[in-house]
Amino acid sequence: MKLIRFLAGINLKIITVLLLLTYLNLEAEQLYVYVKPQYSKIWKDLIQNYKLPGGTEVIKLTSPEYNTHGNFLYISKSSWADAEKGGKRTEFIKKNIRTFIYAPAVPFMDKNSNISLADLQHTQNVKIVPITNIELPLKALSVNHIYPDNKNYPLKIKYFVNMHSINSGFLDWFNSIAPESADNNGVVWIEAVGDTMLARGVDLSLLEADGTSYIFGNTLSILENSDFLLGNLECVASLKGTEADKRYHFHFNPKVLKNLKEIGFSYFSIANNHSLDYGLTGFLDALANLKSADLGFSGAGKNLENASKPFLANIKGEKIQVFSAGAYPVESSGFDGRKFTAKNHTPGILWADKYLMNLLSLKASKNTFDIVMIHGGREWTSVPTEKQKKLYRAIIDHGADIVIGSHPHFLQGFEIYRHKLIAYSLGNFIFPGMEETEYGEDSIILKVGVYGGRILYLEIYPVLIRGRRIELSKGNRIKNRLIKLTEALR
């Protein structure tokens, strides 16, 4: 009898322990959750992407109070200073799960590139929108001269998951959450300039002490502040070869290529009507000199295969490809650039024809930012031809993100086509001898900020040519003229 009572007592204790353990286990699987209605989408995405431990009972709260709940989770927009309102203060673990970035958006030719936070709070003319929604013909403005890749950028909204728990299952679940962020590797600043002609004594000046400062003047601070600087080299980087049968011939001492590299130039287009001014000898020597100076180029080579390779760069995680091609008409002297296109076993340049379109279709992609520099159009005109517009739009159709034109020697307007940018002509940049040519001394530095694979920022710096030298232009004359030329293309 005593044995029966003893065994019954043991069973009762076992049952009591099992019931207690079951009760504790049920408590451990209860998760109290407070999520404001406007954050419900973030909560749904969270538990869809990261499954809660099996058997979890989610108990939704209508207020942020957690009191004595053992397992408590809430979604907050910041560090959430109201956490103490729910009762006794308890340490929380916190993880940033979502970041939304906003920016002021204005038309792409707006003269402003920045707005202060104070002005932003009082203006009605600037929209604040998610940065992922901004695309040409809108551009973003910096805020207090700060960009979204800066940790102090003021228009970021961060969302956090905050948890209090000692349950190992919930803690493991929390640790499995990968922080989400809308941030990418940063804004890549690409600058482009027009026809850069280093003959007529420019190279001699550059070889002198302080020659770079003398030639480039106060544009240096702009040029040096880019991640990728490119232009059209309107002359042969060689003193070898003999003059071709054409009217104008430009070449320069290749020693000054190091000056251009020091300024920050990364790439030059040489698929133009002056790259063969001194025949194949000068052309091939120029290719070697550019390579030796570590300056990129494309659209020209010892054969078609070489000329077809785009120049590649990887900047802040952004993959960039640059293509160049010629599309200029036959010169009055009879010089026809198409006769000097690269072939399978013949040196030359790439031509903007069906071959280029097929090349772009093959090489351009959503994973690269694709720049195409075209030397085409009619010289000494401010308006692109219909043939020019059709060609440059076709280049966008085949995958380019931006088309940059040269050859007209005058500024021509910008066009937004399929949310991409066409700069029909940046005019001359360094080009002595334009004193008697109206508009021939007007130039710009085009600066675009690429963020998330697309142009988000666009800035224009007006430049004046002063003989061999250049300088930033004061006032708005050049910019206003460019705006009018752009509006005329709509």
- CA atoms 259, 261, 266, 272: torsion sign: positive
Looking at residue 296, its pLDDT comes to 98
Domain extent listing, the chain: 2-107+142-176, 188-487
Looking at residue 232, its pLDDT comes to 98
Outline where DSSP puts E strands in 197-277: 228-233, 265-269
Give yes or no for a contact between 327 and 385, defined as CB atoms under 8 angstroms apart.
no
pLDDT band at 332 (very low <50, low <70, confident <90, very high): confident
352 closest CA partner among 385, 307, 295: 307
Looking at residue 64, its pLDDT comes to 77
Looking at residue 311, its pLDDT comes to 98
Instruction: Read off the tokens for 387.
Output: 């043939």
Residue 217 has pLDDT above 90, yes or no: yes
Residue 90 has pLDDT above 50, yes or no: yes
Cβ contacts of residue 38 below 8 Å, gap of 6+?
A: none
pLDDT, greater one: 77 or 23: 77
pLDDT, greater one: 299 or 85: 299
Burial tier of 230 (Cβ tally within 10 Å: 0-12, 13-18, 19+)? buried
> Concatenated DSSP letters for 77-142?
SSS-GGGGGGSS----EEEEEEEEEEEEEEETT-S--EE-HHHHTT-SSSEEEEGGG--TTEEE-E
The mean pLDDT value of the chain amounts to 90
Options 3.20.20.140, 1.25.40.20, 3.40.50.970, 3.60.21.10; CATH of 188-487: 3.60.21.10
SS (H, E, C) 385-450: CHHHHHHHHHHHHCCCCEEEEECCCCECCEEEECCEEEECCEEEEECCCCCCCCCCCEEEEEEEEE
pLDDT band at 156 (very low <50, low <70, confident <90, very high): confident
Give yes or no for a contact between 390 and 157, defined as CB atoms under 8 angstroms apart.
no
Burial tier of 168 (Cβ tally within 10 Å: 0-12, 13-18, 19+)? exposed
**Fold held by 2-107+142-176:** D-Maltodextrin-Binding Protein; domain 2 (3.40.190)
- Cα angle: 7, vertex 11, 12; to 5 degrees: 115
- Residues 225-235 have a mean pLDDT of 98
- How far apart CA 65 and CA 83 sit, in angstroms, is 8
Q: Is pTM, for the whole model, over 0.85? A: yes
Beta bridge partners of 314: 319
Residue 252 has pLDDT above 70, yes or no: yes
Looking at residue 77, its pLDDT comes to 85
Cβ contacts of residue 284 below 8 Å, gap of 6+?
A: 302, 347
Give yes or no for a contact between 187 and 148, defined as CB atoms under 8 angstroms apart.
yes
Residue 81 has pLDDT above 60, yes or no: no
Longest dimension (CA), the chain: 126
pLDDT band at 471 (very low <50, low <70, confident <90, very high): very high
Looking at residue 8, its pLDDT comes to 45
- How far apart CA 321 and CA 328 sit, in angstroms, is 22
Residue 100 has pLDDT above 50, yes or no: yes
Looking at residue 122, its pLDDT comes to 83
- Residues 449-472 have a mean pLDDT of 97
Give yes or no for a contact between 253 and 308, defined as CB atoms under 8 angstroms apart.
no
- Cα angle: 243, vertex 246, 249; to 5 degrees: 50
pLDDT band at 208 (very low <50, low <70, confident <90, very high): very high
Q: How many CA atoms lie within 13 A of 463 on its CB side?
A: 34
User: Quick one: what percent of the chain has pLDDT higher than 90?
Assistant: 78
Residues 401-437: tens digit of each pLDDT: 999 999 999 999 999 999 999 999 999 999 999 999 9
Residue 6 has pLDDT above 60, yes or no: no
Looking at residue 481, its pLDDT comes to 98
Residues 27-44: tens digit of each pLDDT: 448 999 999 999 999 999
pLDDT, greater one: 467 or 334: 467
Q: Which residue has the tokens 């920050």?
A: 264
Q: Do domains 2-107+142-176 and 188-487 have the same CATH topology?
A: no
